[in-house]
Structure formats: structure tokens, C-alpha cells
Chain A
Amino acid sequence: NAGVMQNPRHLVRRRGQEARLRCSPMKGHSHVYWYRQLPEEGLKFMVYLQKENIIDESGMPKERFSAEFPKEGPSILRIQQVVRGDSAAYFCASSPAAGGLETQYFGPGTRLLVL
């Protein structure tokens, strides 16, 4: 029973390039969450998605960041025109349902380094 899968595990980009981070939730999970962990900081919520819908994007930076969870395929976190401050670990989590007592299971993360 595969857990949450993320790829790539490591991503290096130069300033101004685009970064695409992918997340496949656990089997049977239809709720996906993205978190960012900056160096020496705690994880910060970015966005919550269900299939084809963004439910809560209150933690997303206003510019350059977008997320989607299409009907088929993984969830994608997209960062356009990356800057050095985007360097961080990006974790995806999934749950079978929303809120309440549902545990969020985390993937191994994508470590983005912007040169």
C-alpha cells in the first residue's frame, strides 16, 4: 500500500525558471494539502485541494504560485519565475476525507534549491 508519493525529490532551478512539483496521494485519498518548510522554520500550510477544486488557498503567496489537482493524475504545485527565497522543502499530504479527525499523511517532500 504505497504512501503519498512526491517527485522529484530534489529540484534545482535558476532564478526566473519554473518549478513543477508533483504529488500523488495515497490510494483512496481524495484530499491533498501542500505545506512549505523554510530552513529553520516550521511547516506552513499553503493550499488544500480536492479533485478539480481548490478549497483553501489562504497560505499561498499571491503571485507566482499556483496549484491544481486534476480529475486524472497527480496534484501539481507550480512556481513561476522562482527566486532564491523559494528554496525550501515542499511537502504534500493527503487524507481520505476533510477536517474533523482525519489524519494527514505526508509524502517525502521535494527539496527545491534556487541558484
Chain B
Amino acid sequence: RKEVEQDPGPFNVPEGATVAFNCTYSNSASQSFFWYRQDCRKEPKLLMSVYSSGNEDGRFTAQLNRASQYISLLIRDSKLSDSATYLCVVRGYGGATNKLIFGTGTLLAVQP
């Protein structure tokens, strides 16, 4: 089983739509979680950290369910510029907190 699993998509949505991505992680000892965004042939960029209480940044809302080992990202009012691959990322645990563990990403294509 992969350490971080995501639906690869693609998710094709019209502008203005609300879209949700899900992610599961395998190790219950994991403590830190993130969503990164990666544009085609570019580097990953931090979109937001994910906190236990849930957190919001503009049109983006991230949720964490530790009991289910499940992370989500909700994008409201999708823009064309949101088209990218969204990476679910878990920080390593125990003696490996210096490495990030990436999911394979979910591709979002926002259509005009």
C-alpha cells in the first residue's frame, strides 16, 4: 500500500464550480500534512498546510480527519488559473521528519 494515496483524476470542471480532492495516508503516527500545487513541468509550490481543526485560505479549505487518516482539499469558485496537479504531502514521522512523502497528485482542469 502506498504511504499517500490520491485519486489521479483528471477532474474536468467548469469555471465557478466547487471541486474536492481526497487523500489517505497509511501511517497513523504522521503529524504534519500539506497540499502542494504543481503546474506542468514546474516545481511543487506549497498551497497550504493542513491543521487538525481545518483551515481556510480564500477559496481553498483543507480538512484533516486523523481517525480515518484522510485529508481533503476543497476549491470553491474554480478559476482557469487553478488548473494544475494538486499534491497531497505528509511529513515523515519518527526519525524521518525531514522528508516529505508525496502522493502522485490529482490533475485538475478548469474549463472556460
Chain A, range 79-115, C-beta contacts under 8 Å to B: 89, 91, 93, 98-101, 103-109, 111
Interface size for A (C-beta < 8 A) is: 29
Any B CB within 8 A of the CB of A11: no
- B41 neighbours in A (Cβ, 8 Å): 89, 111
A63 at the interface (CB under 8 A from B): no
* Complex interface: chain A residues within 8 A of B46 (CB): 103, 105
The number of chain B residues touching the other chain, given as a range, is 20 to 34
**Contact mask for chain B residues 81-109; partner A; CB cutoff 8 A; 1 contact, 0 none:** 00000010001100011111111110000
Which chain A residue has the least Cβ–Cβ distance from B99? A45
Q: Mark B49-73, 1 if CB is under 8 A from A, else 0.
A: 1000000000000000000000000
CB contacts under 8 Å to A, within B23-68, are 32, 41-46, 49
Chain A residues within 8 Å of B32, by CB: 101
